[in-house]
Amino acid sequence: MSDTVWRYFELFLLKINKMGTQTNNTFSIKAKTCTLLCKSQEENDCILGNGVQYVIPIYQRPYSWTYEQIRKFIDDIFTSFWGENRNSASEPMFIGTMQLSNSKEILNGKEIIDGQQRLTTFLLLLKILKTQYPENNKLNNIELNWLQTKVNNGKQQKFLQECLNAAEHITPNEVNSYLNNAYIIREIFNEEILTDKDEADFIFDTDKFVDYLFSNIYFVVIETQAPLTKTLQIFNAINTTGLDLNGGDIFKIKMFEYLTRIENKPDTVFEEISRLYETVDSYNAENKEITTDIPGILGIYKYILISKFGLDKSLNQYSTNHFYDLLFDNLLSNGNNKEFKGKSIKLSLDEIEKLVNVRYEWEKNQFPTAEDASAMQLIWWSRYGRYWVLDFVFMYAFCDDENCWQNLWIFNRKLSKLYSVYSVRYAKGLNRIHTFTYHLIDLILKKDFEGIITSINNLIISEENKPVFEKLINGDITENTKVKNIVCRLSALLAEKEIFSAKDDESIKRVRNIFDGQVDIEHIEAYNYFDETLREEKRIEWADKINSLGNLMVLESSINRSISNKPYSEKLLKYPSSSFTIVKKQAELAEWNLEKCELRRDVEAKKIVEYLFN
C-alpha cells in the first residue's frame, strides 16, 4: 500500500479513537490496525495467538459467502503477494474493517459485529493450508478453535466444527456452507499456485506465503464497549462497506436486546424472532411474489402501538424506521423523547405474529365482490392511500369475531367514500382527516364497529360536504389531476353497478381495470378541435364545459391515442371496442353537442353524489 493509503488509515483510526474519547461513560470506541499474527511477543496488535475467542452472536446471519466473493478474496491476496505476473515484490494488503464488542459470557471473548464473513473465510483458508502443508511450523502452531458461532441455535457451530474436523479429502457440500466453501478455497488456491508450462522452474514458496498471510494483511479492528443498540448505531456510523443494516435487520437485533434485557427472556428468544422472518419468507414463497416484508408489518404495528399505549398521535406521521429508532431509544437507553415520556410500552412477538398471519389471510381472501375491489382502489387513488393498511388493523382487532370479514368490507366501502369526498372537495390532504383516521384506529382497537361506521358517516355528511361537492364536480374538473382521476373513475365504476355484487374473477378484473389498467381520461369533444380554422370558435362555444364531467370519460390508452383529436364521428368507430360500459353507452349516441354534454354531466354527477352520500 502507498504512503497515501497508510495516511488515510491513520486519519481513519484517529477519527474513530476521537469518537471514543468524546463520548460519555455509556460507551467507548477504540481502533487499531491488526495483522493475523504478531511479529514479536512485544506486539499485541494481532487477531490470533493472543488468547481471544471470537464469537459470532446469535443475531447475525449465517455464513453465506459465495464462489464469486471467495474468488475475489483469494485473487486479491495473491495479487498483493506476488503481483499479476508472480514476480513482483509483495505489498501490504488492507482486507477490511472488523468491529468487535466484549462478550459477557466468554472469558476474553469478543463478539463480531462486522467482519464475520471475512474472518470465517480466513479460518477456512488456514484449515486448507494446515491440511495441505503439515510441515509448516507456523501453521502447525496455529489452532483452529478461536472462532465459534451461535447462529441458528447451534446448527451453524455444528457445521463449522464438522468442517474443521474434516480429514484431508473435502468435497462439495450443499448443506454445510463451511465445507462447501473450504472446498472452493482449496480449488482456487491450487489453481493459483499451479505451475504453468512456461514456468517449469517455478516452485511455490509456502513459508513466504504463510509469513505474508500472517504479517502483511491488515485489518482495522474497532472495539466498542456499549449496549447492543448503541453498538449497532456505531456500526452504521463507521462501516466502510456502504452496506448499512436495513430496517428489518435492525429491528430483529433491537427486539432481541429488548426481550433479553428488559423482559428477561433467554437468548433462545432470538429463534422466535427469526421464525417470524421465516414465516414472512414462507408466505411470500407460497404466493410466488413479495406480498410484504417485516418493515411492512412493522409499519402496521406502529399504528397499533401508538393507539394501544396512548402515544402522541404525531408519531403516526413518522417513518417506520424513525418511529422504532425513537421507541427503542426510549426502551433501551432511557431516551428523553417527549412523545414517549411517562409511557410504559410493552412489545410482543405474539402481536407481530398475529399481524403477519392476518396480513396473509387478507391476501388470500381479498375482494369477495367487484364493489369491494373498487372500494380498495378508491382508497388507493385518494389523498389518503397510505391508510389502506387499516384493513389489517381491523382484522387484527376483529379476527375472532364471526362477522369479521363481512364487517371489514362494510368498513372499506365507507372509508373509500369518505376519502373520495375529501380528496375531491379539497385540493390537498387535510390534517383533520389524518387525525380522524387515527381516531378510527382507536375505535377499531376498542372493537366498536358501530362507532366506527357512525363516525365515518357523520364526517361524510358534515360541513355542507354534499352541496359543495356537487357544485365542484359540475364544473371544470381538470384543474386538479387527482380530482379529475377520481371523479372520472367513479363515473366509470358506477356504470358497472350491475356487476357490483358479482364474485367472479372476470367481473372483479373489469372494475379493477378502471383503476389500475392502462387508462386515459378522454375528451369526447376534442380539447383541440381537429379543424384548426374552427378551433377558436369551438373553444368559445364549449367554454369550461369542454373540461366538465359531461365531456370526460375513461378510455383505454391504446384507443385514446389512436383517435387523438379526431371528430366525434370517427371516434364512434373505435368506442365500441372498449371494455368499459360507460364508453359503450357513449357509442350509442350518434351525435355529440353541448346540450348532450350538459345532460350527461347532470346524470353522471347525480349518480356519484347519490353513491357517496347515500
Please check the confidence at residue 135 and state whether its pLDDT lies above 50: yes
Query: Domain residue spans in the chain?
Result: 3-242, 246-364, 367-462, 473-613
In tens, the pLDDT along 67-110 reads 999 999 999 999 999 887 777 888 889 888 888 988 777 778 89
State pTM to two decimals. Answer: 0.75
In tens, the pLDDT along 249-270 reads 788 889 998 999 999 999 889 8
In tens, the pLDDT along 524-580 reads 999 988 888 888 888 899 999 999 999 999 999 999 999 988 999 999 999 999 999
Q: How far is CA 493 from CA 208, 422, 454, 496, 560, in A?
A: 78, 18, 25, 5, 19
Q: Can you list the positions of beta strands (E) in 147-293? A: 147-149, 217-225
DSSP line for 476-493: B--SSHHHHHHHHHHHHH
Of 284, 128, 283, the residue nearest 210 (C-alpha): 128
Hey, which residues does 326 pair with through a beta bridge?
none
Q: What is the pLDDT at residue 411?
A: 98
Please check the confidence at residue 192 and state whether its pLDDT lies above 70: yes
Mean pLDDT of 13-18: 54
Q: What is the pLDDT at residue 6?
A: 47
User: Beta strands 109-114 and 53-56: pairing type?
Assistant: parallel
Q: At what angle do helices 206-215 and 67-82 cross, to 10 degrees?
A: 100
Q: What is the pLDDT at residue 343?
A: 85
Lowest model confidence (mean pLDDT) among 168-182, 454-468, 578-592: 168-182
Lowest model confidence (mean pLDDT) among 31-35, 36-40, 132-136: 36-40
Contacting residues for 244 by C-beta, under 8 A, at least 6 apart? 236
Band (201; pLDDT cuts 50, 70, 90): low
In tens, the pLDDT along 342-352 reads 788 999 999 99
Average pLDDT score, the chain: 89
In tens, the pLDDT along 388-435 reads 999 999 999 999 999 999 999 999 999 999 999 999 999 899 999 999
Q: Can you list the positions of beta strands (E) in 452-608? A: 519-523, 552-556
Q: What is the pLDDT at residue 19?
A: 53
Mean pLDDT of 445-453: 97
- Highest mean pLDDT among 119-123, 200-204, 562-566 belongs to 119-123
Please check the confidence at residue 41 and state whether its pLDDT lies above 90: no
Please check the confidence at residue 17 and state whether its pLDDT lies above 60: no
- Report the percentage of the chain scoring pLDDT > 90: 65
Phi, psi of 602 (to 5 degrees): -60, -40
What is the distance, to the nearest Å, from the Cα of residue 125 to the centroid of all Cα atoms in its chain?
35
Of 302, 328, 323, the residue nearest 386 (C-alpha): 302
Mean pLDDT of 501-520: 94
Of 254, 246, 362, 348, the residue nearest 293 (C-alpha): 246
Please check the confidence at residue 232 and state whether its pLDDT lies above 80: no
Hey, which residues does 54 pair with through a beta bridge?
110, 147
Residues 570 and 592 sit within 8 Å (Cβ to Cβ)? no
Please check the confidence at residue 198 and state whether its pLDDT lies above 60: no
Residues 163 and 124 sit within 8 Å (Cβ to Cβ)? yes
Q: What is the pLDDT at residue 4?
A: 45
Q: What is the pLDDT at residue 238?
A: 57
Q: What is the pLDDT at residue 406?
A: 96
In tens, the pLDDT along 284-295 reads 989 888 899 999
The more confidently predicted of residues 241 and 600 is 600
Mean pLDDT of 471-483: 96
In tens, the pLDDT along 297-344 reads 999 999 999 999 999 999 999 999 999 989 998 898 877 778 887 788
